[in-house]
Amino acid sequence: MSSTPLLDRIADPAALRALPRAELPTLARELRQFVLSSVAMTGGHLSSNLGTIELTLALHYVYDTPRDRIVWDVGHQTYAHKILTGRRAAMDKLRMRGGPSGFPRRSESEFDTFGTAHSSTSISAALGMAVAARLQHAERHVVAVIGDGAMSAGMAFEALNNAGTADANLLVVLNDNDMSISEPVGAFNQHLAKVLASRFYNTVRRGGKEMLSRLPPVRELAKRAEEHFKGMVLPGTLFEEFGFNYIGPIDGHDLDVLVRTLQNVRALKGPQFLHVVTRKGQGYGRAEADPILYHGVSRFDPQVGYAPKPAARPTYSDVFGDWLCDTARADPRLVGITPAMREGSGMVRFSQQFPGRYFDVGIAEQHAVTFAAGLACEGMLPVVAIYSTFLQRAYDQLIHDVALQHLPVTFAIDRAGIVGADGATHLGAFDLSYLRCIPNMTVMAPSDENECRQMLTTAFELGTPAAVRYPRGAGPGVALAAERKALPVGKGEIRRAAQGKPRVAILAFGAPLAAALAAGETLDATVANMRFVKPLDEALVLELARTHRRLVTVEENVVAGGAGSAVAECLAAHGIEVPLVHLGLPDAFIDHGDPAGLLAEAGLDAAGIVAAIERASHADPGQVVTLAAARRDQGAA
């Protein structure tokens, strides 16, 4: 017998399928250890990936991937999938610049059949693939793997509702990692699952239905009897009502049961629903005991365990969490809402101190926003804590249910701008553009921690729809004022006045202010902290335009439609012509990598701002210069 580890012999799923089934448990142990060691070295999602080792092996063992399609919901449980599909050698650069993404990505591998990172999209995408296979007369199978958390989103149920009548061969695997199989029902349900998945059972079932279809009263009686029996022993009646054949629950860590069940399911036609129970952190005791702590980790020693290093200074999320608790004590009308982002949004302490006013609505961003609107209609003052990239999913609700009705809902928008290792799928680059075009909205961007606290108070006290957007991580380290103080709405401030003849004025929106101030020192430029994107401080813009030869806008948002565009629109409306330089994020999806490096590459560090202004000084005086145009000029030179 070869002493070479089995994992070293698996270059792709074809090699996996060549193994005897008896060797799969050994491979699972090696794969689990590799995932643990790899994530400990790079950081990333750990608990979810340890929980899907056996399921990943079984799916690639039974299905002929990539010819057969597997769509992974969210995708933060696909490290084993990446390792088995030719990317093992690159895992030491996971979520780093030039390395694999932390999520499935079509451009990365043919085995990543659909790019995912936002929740609850898998069933819709997989159904589309299954219908395409039917229309193309292609003999391939399609599987959607979705977690129990992702099933809380309405989109998943919309897809289930459609799939039940779409005449397509689709398997939905529910990876249920929030419960365990109890002793009294475990063995029975595994046996029943194998029976329900067998060809014999389904042949008899179809034949019986055809025969009974000629006798409607008897057919209805038989259908009800079957439903009542399954309802007593299985939690699948709901999925049967959607038109799926429900199978399970089965132990998602028992490879023999998984493989045999999947082999039976693979032979079935129509929509199938397989309920698989797994455990987050499986095989690593510390992650099993605290799967939330080990959900997303930075580098750590597996022998010692993971302990997040205390931040040198509070993050913006911490600032928000403290403000939320302080304001809730002062105003009983405040309620806090999150779409399954309690830890990431800094709401843990609020949830403990004000449990009656804390609402985690699950992965349901649309519902979160309209739920807040309903609360606001009845005199409450809801605060919705949400990531920039996730608020995109509730855009219609933001417009129709909140802004149109002019309701006092405060949006605390975390992860604005570049997000680092999470990459393009979590990029918060569009919120200034998509928010400022909405009537009745007030939009603010703090430049430091204290300003963030002040803006949250401003938004909360406005009595109208308002948003405060702030980046991931810590700010520049500005001390927080003890009192809760609102800012004058729509008013910016001069943070640096040019010492010599005023030539350039830099208008900074939010976090880039620190880099703008450093650039201002180098160039002896005036620097304004604009604070408000909407309403824009037009008086300040016009004054700077009259007293300076060039204006430069800086924002950690896409240039198109962003804060710089607001400045240009203001100048045009007043008939003022002045050379403009718009600096912001490029018209592209920014990959994962070190945040500071990504900002520098986008030209949003001090050196980049200085270089862009110097290049613009040699351009046509009447030209509006964007970062992309400046790069083109630099390349031509």
Active site residues: 280, 365, 393
Phi, psi of 153 (to 5 degrees): -85, 140
- CB 430, CB 558: distance < 8 Å: yes
- Give the SS3 label for residue 497: coil
Gap between the Cα atoms of 609 and 600, Å rounded: 9
CA 355 to each of CA 166, 322, 349, 503: distance values in angstroms, whole numbers, following the listed order: 43, 15, 10, 54
Q: How far, in Å, CA of 452 to CA of 480, rounded?
A: 9
Spatial separation of the C-alpha atoms in residues 245 and 267, rounded to whole Å: 13
- What phi and psi, each to the nearest 5 degrees, are found at residue 43? 85, 165
Phi (first) and psi of residue 313, to 5 degrees: -150, 160
Cα gap 585→555, rounded to integer Å: 8
C-alpha to C-alpha distances, 507 to 216, 549, 568, nearest whole angstrom: 74, 13, 12
Determine if residue 510 is left, alpha or beta; phi over 0 gives left, psi from -120 to 50 gives alpha, anything else beta: left
Q: Which two tokens stand for residue 142?
A: 């399609």
Q: What is the CA radius of gyration of the chain?
A: 28
Residue 561: closest CA among 433, 437, 450, 441: 433
Per-residue DSSP letters for 323-358? HHHHHHHH-TTEEEEESS-TTTTT-HHHHHH-GGGE
Quickly list H helices, 213-297.
216-233, 237-241, 255-266, 285-289
Residues across the chain: 637
